[in-house]
Amino acid sequence: MNYPPPPPIPLFFPPAPPVTAPETALAAPCRPFDPPPAPPEPKRINSRAKGQRGEREIVRLLQCIVDKVLAGYRLPPILIERNQLQTNQGGHDLAGLPEFAIEVKFCETELLTQWWEQTLVQAAKHGGIPILLYRASRKPWRAKIRAFVNSPKERDQIEADIELSIEDFTSWFESAFDELIVERMHNLK
C-alpha cells in the first residue's frame, strides 16, 4: 500500500510577538502544562470569638449609659460584663443588669425569629425585660425589645415587639434605666 509522503517540516519558526515591559513585570512565567495557581483560602471566621467581640461592644455601649445615669444621681457604679457562665448555667448574655434580659448576636446570617424566641425564653426563665441586640459585619447594630405602648382608645397599654435602630435603642435604654433608678430610690424611702 502506498501512502502519500508526509508534509515537509519547516526549518524555522516565526518569532514570537514582543512582550511589553508591564506584562513581563506583572505576569509570572508559566509553562503551558503548569496547573493554574490555587485561589487564596477564604479567611476562616471564628464565630464564637466574633460573638464575644459583639458582646464586648455592647458592654462598652451600655456601660457608658449606665455610668452617666448613675453619676447624675451620685450613685456608685454598676459593672456590666459578659455572662461567662451562660453556656453552663444558662441566662442572658450580659450580667450586671438583672432587670434587663439582654441577648447579643453578632452573625452573618440573621436568624431574627430564632434569636427573639431565645431572648423571650431567657427573659421568662431569669426575669427582666427581653432585649435583643444584633448585627452582621459591616452593618449597624439593631435592637428588638418588648415594650408597652399606650392604646389611644382603651387608655391602657398594649404589649408589642418593636425593632429599633441602635440610636433609638440607646435613647430608650437611658430613659428606662433612669426610670428604674428613680423607682429603686423611691422604694428605699
CATH of the domain at 77: 3.40.1350
Helical axes 166-188 vs 47-72, angle rounded to 10°: 50
84 domain-assigned: yes
135 domain-assigned: yes
Q: Which residues of 103-123 are buried (b: 16+ CB within 10 A; e: fewer)?
A: bbbbbeeeeeeebbebbbebb
For residue 108, the Cα-to-chain-centroid distance in whole angstroms is 7
Tell me the average pLDDT across 20-38: 54
34 domain-assigned: no
The C-alpha cell at 43 is: 479567611
Of 33-37, 49-53, 159-163, 174-178, minimum mean pLDDT range:
33-37
Tell me the average pLDDT across 43-53: 77
151 domain-assigned: yes
Report d(CA 68, CA 66) in Å as an integer.
Answer: 5
38 domain-assigned: no
pLDDT at 88 over 50: no
* Predicted confidence band of residue 156 (pLDDT cuts 50, 70, 90): confident
Q: Give the model confidence (pLDDT) of 172-182 as tens digits.
A: 999 999 999 99
Cell numbers 422604694 label which residue? Answer: 187
State residue 137's pLDDT score.
Answer: 83
User: Which residue from 42, 61, 44 is spatially nearest to 135, judged by alpha carbons?
Assistant: 61
15 domain-assigned: no
Tally the domains of the chain: 1
User: Which residue from 168, 105, 167, 112 is spatially nearest to 137, judged by alpha carbons?
Assistant: 105
6 domain-assigned: no
Domain containing 112 equals 47-188
- What are the strands, taking DSSP E only, across the chain? 81-82, 94-95, 100-106, 129-135, 142-150, 157-165
Q: What is the pTM of this model?
A: 0.70
* Predicted confidence band of residue 188 (pLDDT cuts 50, 70, 90): confident
State residue 15's pLDDT score.
Answer: 65
Q: Is 132 exposed, middle or buried (0-12, 13-18, 19+ CB in 10 A)?
A: buried
pLDDT at 149 over 90: no
